[in-house]
C-alpha cells in the first residue's frame, strides 16, 4: 500500500466513571443506574478527539511563528495564506517541535517557524511561480510534505525571539542554502548546527538544498491533506479532504544521517 494511503490516527479516550463498591447493594444499584443514565444523556462525554492538525503555539507558546507565505516577504511578494493563519502541524509533530524547543531554550535559543502546513492550493501557486523541481515539489508527482502537515521550515532565534545569523534568508535558492554550511562565518555555522542538532534529536530530517526545511522521520504514518477546516478558535484543524499523492513526495527520501537525498520543499 502506498504510504500516503495511511492516514493520521485519531485517538479517543473514554472517561471511566468511578463507583464506590464499599456501599450497600441498593446504593451500588442506584449509582450504576445514575451512571448508565448519565452516560446515555451524554453527561459523561468522551474526551475530545485529537484534531488532525494543531497550532504549534498551542503546544509550546514559546515557539516563534512568522509564516512567510501569510505576508509579503516570500518569492511571490504577496500573501498566499490568509492573514493570522496558524502554524499547523500534526499533533505528534508539534510535540517533537516542543521537545526541540526545550533543548534550544536550555542554551538560550529557540525555534522560529517560517512555514508549516501548506494548503494544496497555495502549493500549486508556488509551483506556478517557481516550476523547478530542484526547489519546489511538483504537485503532480506528490507535492510537498508541507501539505501533509509533517514538514516545517524553521530557523533559530535568541531567547528574546530575535533572528540570529544564519546562512541565508527564507527561500533563498542558492548554494549557501545547502544543508551543510561551508562559508567562513563560525557563528553562522554554530547556529545552524545547533538548530539541526536539536531537530534531529527530536526526530526530524533535514533537506540537502534547504537548511530550513525539516521533515519528521515517521512521515509515512500520515497522508496528504488537501483541504482543512479550522476549529477550536483557529488553534487546530480537521482535514475535510485528503488524497493520496500519485507517488511519494520528492522530499521524503531521508537518510538517517539527517539529510534527505532529494530536492523539494
- Cα(216)–Cα(140) distance, integer angstroms: 22
Q: Which lies closer to Zn ion via its Cβ, residue 55 or residue 210?
A: 210
Q: Which lies closer to Zn ion via its Cβ, residue 39 or residue 85?
A: 85
Q: Which lies closer to Zn ion via its Cβ, residue 191 or residue 213?
A: 213
CB of 146 vs Zn ion, minimal distance in Å: 6
- DSSP code at position 254: B
- Which residues, at least 6 apart from 216, have a Cβ–Cβ distance to it below 8 Å? 90, 92, 93, 96, 150, 151, 203, 204, 205
Torsion, Cα 261 70 157 105, to 10 degrees, reads -90
CB of 118 vs Zn ion, minimal distance in Å: 8
Residue of the chain from 112, 213, 224, 250 that contacts Zn ion (CB under 5 A): 213
Q: Which lies closer to Zn ion via its Cβ, residue 208 or residue 213?
A: 213
Strand partners, 53: 237
Closest CA to 91 of 236, 265, 242: 236
* Residue 244, burial from CB neighbour count under 10 angstroms (0-12, 13-18, 19+): middle
CB of 45 vs Zn ion, minimal distance in Å: 38
CB of 38 vs Zn ion, minimal distance in Å: 48
Q: Which lies closer to Zn ion via its Cβ, residue 173 or residue 180?
A: 173
CB of 115 vs Zn ion, minimal distance in Å: 6
Task: Cell 545552524: give the residue.
Answer: 192
Q: How many chain residues interact with Zn ion (CB under 5 A)?
A: 3
Stretch binding Zn ion (CB under 5 A), from 37-45, 166-174, 207-215, 226-234: 207-215
Q: Does 265 bind Zn ion (CB under 5 A)?
A: yes
Stretch binding Zn ion (CB under 5 A), from 44-52, 64-72, 176-184, 209-217: 209-217
* Residue 12, burial from CB neighbour count under 10 angstroms (0-12, 13-18, 19+): exposed
| Interacting positions 144-173 with Zn ion (CB under 5 A) | 153
Closest CA to 76 of 115, 23, 35: 115
Stretch binding Zn ion (CB under 5 A), from 69-77, 162-170, 212-220, 232-240: 212-220
CB of 1 vs Zn ion, minimal distance in Å: 26
| Residue ranges binding Zn ion (CB under 5 A) | 153, 213, 265
Amino acid at each position: 500500500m502506498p504510504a500516503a494511503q495511511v492516514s493520521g490516527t485519531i485517538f479517543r479516550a473514554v472517561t471511566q466513571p468511578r463507583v464506590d463498591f464499599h456501599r450497600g447493594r441498593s446504593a451500588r444499584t442506584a449509582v450504576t443506574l445514575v451512571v448508565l443514565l448519565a452516560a446515555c444523556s451524554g453527561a459523561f462525554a468522551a474526551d475530545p478527539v485529537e484534531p488532525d492538525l494543531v497550532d504549534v503555539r498551542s503546544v509550546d507558546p514559546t515557539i516563534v511563528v512568522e509564516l512567510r507565505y501569510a505576508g509579503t516577504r516570500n518569492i511571490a511578494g504577496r500573501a498566499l495564506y490568509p492573514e493570522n493563519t496558524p502554524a499547523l502541524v500534526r499533533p505528534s509533530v508539534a510535540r517533537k517541535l516542543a521537545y526541540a524547543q526545550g533543548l534550544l531554550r536550555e542554551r538560550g535559543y529557540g525555534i522560529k517557524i517560517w512555514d508549516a502546513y501548506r494548503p494544496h492550493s497555495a502549493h500549486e501557486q508556488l509551483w506556478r511561480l517557481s516550476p523547478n523541481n530542484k526547489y519546489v515539489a511538483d504537485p503532480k508527482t506528490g507535492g510537498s510534505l508541507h501539505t501533509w502537515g509533517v514538514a516545517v521550515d524553521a530557523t533559530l532565534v535568541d531567547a528574546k525571539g530575535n533572528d540570529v545569523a544564519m546562512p541565508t534568508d527564507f527561500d533563498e535558492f542558492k548554494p549557501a542554502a545547502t544543508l551543510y554550511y561551508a562559508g567562513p562565518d563560525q557563528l553562522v555555522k554554530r547556529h545552524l548546527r545547533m538548530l539541526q542538532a536539536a531537530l534531529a534529536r527530536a526526530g526530524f530530517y533535514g533537506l540537502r538544498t534547504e537548511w530550513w526545511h525539516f521533515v519528521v522521520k515517521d512521515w509515512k504514518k500520515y497522508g496528504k491533506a488537501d483541504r482543512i477546516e479550522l476549529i477550536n478558535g483557529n488553534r487546530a484543524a480537521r482535514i475535510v479532504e485528503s488524497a493520496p499523492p500519485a507517488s511519494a513526495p520528492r522530499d521524503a527520501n531521508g537518510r538517517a544521517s539527517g539529510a534527505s537525498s532529494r530536492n523539494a520543499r
